[in-house]
Structure 1
Amino acid sequence: MSRPDRFEIEAAGQLGHVFVSKVQSGPLPARPAVVLIHGIGVSHRYLRRLHGLLAETGDTYSIDLPGFGGTPRPRRALSVADHATYILGALEQLGVLESVIVGHSMGSQFALEAALQQPGRISQLVMMGPVVDSKRRSVLQQALALGRDSLLFESPSSNALVFTDYLRCGPTWYLKNLRVMMDYRTEERISGVAVPVLVMRGANDPVASADWCRRLAGRAARALLLEIEGAGHVVQHNRAADVAEAILDFAGTHATAREASRENPA
């Protein structure tokens, strides 16, 4: 795959980067665009493997949100809703009016909120390693789970990507956004999502536990739960092929069902 094109886009008064891989249109309709959203403190870099695999079959977009990666830092920490507004605005500028949106960790909150803000533009929602477990809603509990994950279940390359991005983010900005993440009630907000949801976790992930993900999926109107064996929290990097296959299967199944319902209305 060739290197994605990088676009610097201002939307909702904020500046971010969007990395775009577009495929040549062929005789068959292209699959819906897939949009990848990173979590707290990090950037598109730990989504690169997944981006590359998805880009083999369709248009794929990875976003560095305002204040993360190499983007300018806003004057204040943005809310989850602010980030969702930026995502939708940036995609609109790129002509992406319908997509499968995929968020990892705190990115799952941003993706969820985007699906709530403009449900007509999100065909499916994928939440990888979603946060924050409603039974472990303290910073200490989350920090211990993340430390356990990095020590026991992550590869050297995933740890290197995450920790170097954390350094670039800096402790002050990280902590400001941590409060935003901790205050967002994912388990309450997901009940308002109308589109199909895939909740995905690495089977060894101590951050997004099996119990939490089951409870979260149970709150959605239409949801599937999938575990990827042999992976921790950064499942999209260490099991990129499995995650890409799961996303494409999920999106394809529901796209087929959606087309069938249009052709055969009740």
Structure 2
Amino acid sequence: MSASGVRPLDPSRSRPDTPLVGVPGLGLSAATLRPVLHRLGGGTVVTLPGFGEPVPRHLPVDPQTQAGRLLDRVTELGIDTCVLLGHSASCQVVVEAAARAPGVVAALVLIGPTTDPRARTRSRLAARWLRTSVHERPAQVPLLVRDYARTGPTAMVRTMGAARRHRIETALVGVSCPVLVLRGPRDRISPADWTDTLARVAPHGASTTLESGAHMVPLTEPDALAAAIGAFLRTAADGRVTGHPAA
């Protein structure tokens, strides 16, 4: 294992030796991350309240508490060290987990992170979501409808409210592992200058924009996403993450 804690990918399997653990986005199920994890050779999806699971009334859903739940699940799975992958609002959760348990999290992958300071109000978030949704592929709609209905609108609003108040850019300063921030070129929820900013504040960060896709790139662009993540993990294992955004 390298000094960064990430082992190189085995070319024969195209997957890292360090286990991949993904957390789906707000209101989404494990199915949304399985395509990209499959292309990376496998991984585990951990669901949490509001992120693949219902939210019991009065249950705390702030990212710090969710990070504790995530780390407990990782321990229960018998995983000592892992690469955490977050999508959308779950990026807050995995960042908090990495800051809390640097010995457990070897690297972070943040796909379309939310809460750009310019769009933290409900109205601005909704406007960005609408501008992004017109670029998404219609084929994913049935899955998203099922997932959102399972979580429920009240739970989604409450969970997003907690995420909206969280400052992911502040939490990233305390993360010591390599960090990759990814987005689709038509993602208005997570614009390029925002992902570049997050990569810059992370001590060992890099950012990249895929050639196609919007916010739901784990479903719509799994091949390109897996290629970018695989390249990042090889670079991280070689100690070549510099802390500056990638082109």
TM class by smaller structure:
0.7 to 0.9
Q: Structure 2 counterpart of 1:210, which letter? A: A
- Opposite residue 228 of structure 1, the aligned amino acid is L
CA gap of 1:30–1:214, structure 2 versus 1, over 3 A, is: closer
1:136 and 1:118 map into 2 onto residues whose CA distance is 29
Corresponding residue of 1:204: 186
Of 196-205 and 38-47, more deviation after overlay is shown by 38-47
Letter in 1 for 2:97: A
Contact kept, 8 Å, 2:26 with 2:50, in 1: the verdict is no
**Pair 1:131-2:117 in alignment:** no
Aligned residues: 227
Bigger radius of gyration among the two: 1
In the TM superposition, residue 130 of structure 1 has moved relative to its aligned partner by 0.5
Aligned equivalent of 2:236: 254
Q: Say which of 20, 24, 31 aligns to 1:45.
A: 31
Report the Cα distance in structure 2 between the residues aligned to 1:183 and 1:69, rounded to whole angstroms. 21
Q: 1:161 aligns with which of 125, 130, 143?
A: 143
C-alpha deviation, 1:232, in angstroms: 0.1
Change (3 A) 1:70 1:211: closer
Q: Which residue of 1 aligns with 2:244?
A: none
Judge conservation of contact 1:196–1:254 (CA < 8 Å) in 2. Answer: yes
**TM-score if structure 1 supplies the norm length?**
0.80
Find the residue that maps to 1:130 and give its secondary structure. Answer: coil
**1:113 corresponding residue in structure 2:** 96
Partner in structure 1 of residue 223 of structure 2: 241
Residue 49 of structure 2 is aligned to residue 66 of structure 1: yes
Counterparts in 2 of 1:227 and 1:185: CA distance versus 1, 3 Å: same
Percent identity at matched positions? 31
CA distance in 1, matches of 2:51, 2:103: 27
The one of 151, 174, 178 equivalent to 2:160 is 178
Contact persistence 2:50–2:159 (CA under 8 A): no
Q: Which amino acid aligns with 1:47?
A: L
**Residue type of the alignment partner of 2:223:** A
2-structure distance, mates of 1:112, 1:101: 9
Distance (Å, rounded) in 2 between the aligned partners of 1:70 and 1:188 = 27
Q: What is the TM-score of this pair, normalised by structure 2?
A: 0.86
Q: CA RMSD in A?
A: 2.0
Question: Closer, same or farther in 2 for the Cα pair 1:148/1:160, shift >3 Å?
Answer: farther
Partner-residue secondary structure (3-state), 1:100: strand
Partner AA of 2:160 in structure 1: L
Residue 71 of structure 1: CA displacement?
A: 5.2
What residue ranges of structure 2 are gaps of 5+ in the alignment? 1-11, 241-247
SS, match of residue 257 in structure 1: coil
Distance 1:226 1:68 in 2: 24
Task: Find runs of 4+ consecutive structure 1 residues off by over 6 angstroms.
Answer: none
1:50-76 per-residue CA deviation (whole Å, 9 max, x = no partner) reads 12212x2xx511112135435563642
Give the structure 2 partner of residue 10 of structure 1: none
SS at match of 2:52: coil
Give 3-state SS (helix, strand or coil) of 2:223's partner.
helix
Higher relative contact order (CA closer than 8 Å, sequence separation 6+) = 2
How far residue 209 of structure 1 moved from its aligned partner, in angstroms, is 0.5
Matches of 1:126 and 1:97, distance apart in 2: 18
Q: Which residue in 2 is equivalent to 1:36?
A: 22
Per the TM alignment, residue 77 of structure 1 is displaced from its structure 2 partner at its CA by 3.7
| Deviation by residue 1:222-265 (Cα, 9 ceiling, x = unmatched) | 1111101111001111110111111121112212339xxxxxxx
Cα displacement string for residues 159-213 of structure 1 (whole angstroms, at most 9, x for unaligned residues): 3322321111111111111210110011111111111110100011000001111
5+ residue gaps, structure 1, are 1-25, 259-266
